[in-house]
Structure 1
Amino acid sequence: MFRSFFPNPRLFFPAALLWTAVAMLVWYTLGERLSAYFSLGPWIGLQPSETNPEPFFSPEKIWLYQYVIMAGYLFCIPWYWIGGNRRWFWWSVVGSVTIIEIVYFNVQISAWLNDWYGEFYNLIQAALTEPGSVTLDRLLTELATVAYVLLPNITVLVLNAFFIAHYLFRWRRAMSAYYFSNWQHLRHVEGASQRIQEDTQRFASIVEGLTVSFVASVMTLIVFLPILWELSQNITELPFIGEVDGSLVWVALVSSAFGTVLLAAVGFKLPGLEFDNQKVEAAYRKELVYGEDNEHRAEPVGIRELFGNVQKNYFRLYKHYMYFNVARYAYLQGSVFIPILAMSPSIATGAITFGIFTQVSNAFGQVEDSFKFLASSWTTIISLISVYKRLRLFETFIPRDAPLINDYDDERFVPAASPDELEPQPQPAQ
């Protein structure tokens, strides 16, 4: 699943985590010193102004973005020679780093927008409270400022979605070629065609989506936790508890931990049921395929039994998903009101402005969503576990000494089965 696309996965992924930790350590210890030698901020950065006190492309921000780009692509260089899987280097290594870089910049834009919303809604509150105190030009200038940031960001997100689609297809191609080159060992496995045709696509898509979401959650926590902690100083007390330092951070942590434990407890049976569901579906589909070419296969009695197995498993799945969804939707709907409840004493006493309320709500939502990554992604994780179990079982039939052939263009690629076995047989004349 990974070896066909990434260079030496057992080394690559731990090295990526270690490199990230080292890069962060260097940034927090030597970042300011290095900026004097490498930063482009003094030349291309925007200086603060009265209408734009914290520009997105300030000299300090430029150096941060520059450092992240440098650290990311420096990590890619040695993997061109390490791992022995150069065929997909530009997609698996450089492509993965590019996707993560874009996720990071999107998080930075969210943090900048959080500050912008606070100032903008304070401006609206002032305009509504004291008519004539805010000019139309001031409002339009604020909107133009945010447009300068959002329009390029929208373009990048569209291009990134296009890039990810190609990235996933390359990963699927690598897995498919590897499995198909070992077809003589796999062709007798139940649902072998489905594993190669469907599960490779689903695995690559789910892993990429969950990984990007997880990385985004971690980056969001790194960026927004200090913001939420600082904003918590505006919240005078929590209901039923009183004053707590960093109150909103603790509320977000407790809320998300509760949701994660709750959904994990009520949904622990679902991965096994999803796995069983694919087994009975594969048996049913296989008999139907045989029935296309053989009039003695897919007879009503046999099909009725196979479909009965499908129905039985689906009904069990529906029953377990029912109580899982009760817990899931109740938690997700209820969590929307938690920040309002936490801020209610401060709202009642008028201790915060509308702008601060907006900033707190947005920052709290970002932090809580990151904390409850597992809770929000649990149904997707269930599907991933099911697909992983099927592919892992599939790979046990491949000998350990099988050569790594991860592309149909590989000169060594020769399907093990003969063309007559792979091509559909001609149908008899009607």
Structure 2
Amino acid sequence: MKLPLIRGFWQLFKGYWSSAEKWKARGLLASVIVLNLVMVYLLVRINDWYRNFYDALQAYDWASFWPLVGTFTGLALLYIVIAVYAVYLRQMLTINWRTWMTEEYLARWMRGQVYYRLQVLRSDTDNPDQRISEDINQFVTLTLTLLVGALKQLTTLGAFAVVLWNLSGALTVPIGSETFTIYGYMFWLSLLYAGVGSVLVHLVGRKLIRLNFDQQRYEADFRFNMMRVRENSESIAFYRGEMAETQGFKERFANVIKNYWGLMRRTKLLNFYVNGYGQLAIIFPLIMAAPRYYAGEIALGGLMQTISAFGRVQDALSFFVDSYSSIAELSAVIQRLSGFTAHINEAAAVPPMIVHEDDAEDALRLSDLHVALPHGAELFAVSALTLPQGSRALVTGESGVGKSTLLRAVAGIWFAGSGTVTMPEGSSRLFLPPHPYLPLGTLRRALSYPCTAAVSDTEMARVLAQVGLPHLAPRLSDTDDWSRILSLGEQQRLAFARILLIRPDWIFLDEATSALDEPRERALYELLRQELPASGIISVGHRSTLYALHETELRIHDHTIISREIPHEP
């Protein structure tokens, strides 16, 4: 791994192991490591068994045959039990680590409306949902698999290197008139074999890192495009946009297939190399040890033990070769998660230039407020504006002047600009966008969102009847995609029912009645006046009929908010 990847890995890795769960995590990891060490010890015992067993075969020692088979059976059964629990405890650690990381990232993504800021800032983070749901899982699984595997192979190397050194004896090599003696030559050959193999596998497979990174991105883009069609199916159907959407599908899927072909070709080359490397490792130690066997320096048992020990050492030294595909995948995951983490940190670090304060005065006040676009261009400004509790204000102006952004600034989710927004201390607020958000789940949950406190079905049925949706009352327990089932007009009336349930002190309506006819719009505003006479209402809209339902007009014109009283006929 390159230095940036190592830094990125450490930043992702260290959090869990220094968290409140660190001792539980370290205990599980220690247990997994101990079990793997015991497995290595058992492999050494089995390696010794090879010598005894094949020596007995060579000597036709029938009396030793069944006792040796019994010894192997006991060692094998113990090895199986320990291997199973080593994997089980590692999976337990994987679940705990993934749970911690997922909760941590969800908290950071949701805290301070970072999820919203990432979109406003047009961050190049693609598919945050996939980063949290899939990449964290891959990071944890691959890291533990490679970490435990590397520790096991290092232990194996340490144990069998000694065995192989002792079994190798000395090899005398004549060079000219001189002879050189190489002690433990089989060990040095295994080092040379694995070292050359590791260098070559990196040259063959290094392009897999970028290919794996791109494959995840293209797959996510393709899936997200289909999700967009599902969420906007009615609009697409009205437009008869099937051909355009299909073309979009094909373009994104073409990227998936093109990159996958590249991944296949590079993986094919890597598999050729890895399989060739593995097959050569079978015959290589036999060829190297055969001269000592035929010279009578070692018996058949010693030959088989040497071959087995060489295989264990070579496996340990070849861990990088065998795991290269996983390492390449982990590198791609680290890049994606590190990028996502950096974008979250950048979005969270953007200072809120618009100050929000609470005050004992029962009024909404804007003081020296300047609202700008993210790139710095100013939308509008107001030096001082006061709206007393219970005000009915209508925000007007041409499209694009920043009417909705004014509500965002008052809500505290818009960060570009300066000035102060002061709200009455302890006042509750509710903002309704043009397209109400209806979460998946029961209609009861959609109606009471974002509140989590229990509300009686009787009260819910009452407010549904008030907004003209009495037929939905029997379906409060039904679970469905309500944004698909209900028309936009019904969704907007459901949002007004939320207002009646939550009973906020300040209500902000952004084109919240755009899908309703004018009589229904007037009826809903009158309902709010009757049910919540002390609540302030600030609306954004274009209809001229809205003037009769408000007392004050806040017109955004020439980058300035102009306030005036709306005259009403007696």
- Is the TM-score greater than 0.5? yes
Alignment deviations for residues 181-229 of structure 1 (CA, whole Å, 9 cap, x no partner): 1223257531211111111111111111111111011111111111111
The aligned runs of 1:53-64 (5 Å cut-off) are none
Say if 1:395 and 1:175 are closer, same or farther in 2 by CA, change over 3 A.
same
Equivalence for 2:102: 176
Identity %: 27
| Deviation for aligned residue 1:261 | 0.4
Q: Are the counterparts in 1 of residues 46 and 75 from structure 2 also a CA contact under 8 Å?
A: no
Name the residue aligned to 2:48: 115
Q: Determine the C-alpha separation between the residues in 1 that align with 2:174 and 2:334.
A: 45
User: Which one has the bigger strand percentage?
Assistant: 2
Q: What is aligned with 1:358?
A: 304
Match for 1:218 among 154, 168, 171?
154
- Output the CA distance in 1 between the equivalents of 2:174 and 2:203: 29
Give the drift of 1:236.
Answer: 5.2
User: 1:314: how far off?
Assistant: 1.4
* Cα deviation code 1:231-290 (max 9, x no counterpart): 011x65689998521110011001001110001112121101111111111111111111
Partner Cα distance (1:277, 1:429) in 2? 37
Partner of 1:280: 218
Q: Is it true that 1:152 corresponds to 2:98 in the alignment? A: no
The corresponding residue for 2:528 is: none
Q: Which has the larger radius of gyration?
A: 2
Residue of structure 1 equivalent to 2:340:
394
Mark the CA change 1:401 to 1:286 in structure 2 (over 3 Å): closer, same or farther: closer
- State the 1:86 CA deviation: 2.1
2: distance between equivalents of 1:422 and 1:112? 60
Match in the other structure for 1:258: 196
Question: What is the aligned-residue RMSD (CA, Å)?
Answer: 2.8
Contact 1:236 1:351 in 2 (8 A): no
SS at match of 1:399: helix
Q: Distance in 2 between matches of 1:378 and 1:369?
A: 13
Corresponding residue to 1:428 among 465, 469, 485: 485
Q: How many angstroms apart in 2 are the aligned matches of 1:361 and 1:200? A: 41
Indicate which of 316, 322, 325 corresponds to 2:268: 322
Q: Which moved more, 1:320-329 or 1:363-372?
A: 320-329
Question: Equivalents in 2 of 1:175, 1:422: separation in Å?
Answer: 24
Q: Deviations over 1:44-99 (max 9, x none)?
A: xxxxxxxxxxxxxxxxxxxxxxxxxxxxxxxxxxxxxxxxx223521x21011111
4+ runs of 1 displaced by more than 6 Å? 238-242
- CA distance in 1 between counterparts of 2:103 and 2:307 reads 48
Q: Provide the C-alpha distance between the structure 1 equivalents of 2:66 and 2:271, rounded to a whole number of angstroms.
A: 45
Q: Which residue identity lines up with residue 13 of structure 2 in the other structure? A: F
Amino acid at match of 1:5: Y
State the match for 1:304 in structure 2.
250
| Matching residue of 1:205 | 141
Are positions 1:267 and 2:200 aligned together? no
In the alignment, the residues of structure 1 paired with residue 168 and residue 145 of structure 2 have an alpha-carbon distance, to the nearest angstrom, of: 32
Report the AA paired with residue 108 of structure 1.
Y
The AA in structure 2 aligned to 1:289 is M
How many pairs align? 330
The TM-score with structure 2 as length reference comes to: 0.54
What is the SS of the residue equivalent to 1:292? Answer: helix
Structure 1: how far apart are the matches of 2:261 and 2:172? 48
Quick one: structure 1 residues 335 and 147, their matched pair in 2 at CA, closer, same or farther if it must change by over 3 Å? closer
Give the SS at the match of 2:219: helix
Partner of 2:17: 6
**What corresponds to 2:474 in structure 1?**
none
Query: Deviation of residue 144 (structure 1)?
Result: 2.5
Q: Contact (CA 8 Å) 1:239, 1:341: kept in 2 or not?
A: no
Distance 1:239 1:251 in 2: 17
> Structure 1 residues 256, 238: CA separation in 2 closer, same or farther (over 3 Å shift)?
farther
Query: Deviation at 1:115?
Result: 1.0
Q: 1:183 to 1:378 in 2, by over 3 A?
A: same
Asked which structure has the greater RCO (Cα within 8 Å, sep 6+), the reply is 1
Aligned equivalents of 1:307, 1:314: Cα separation in 2? 10
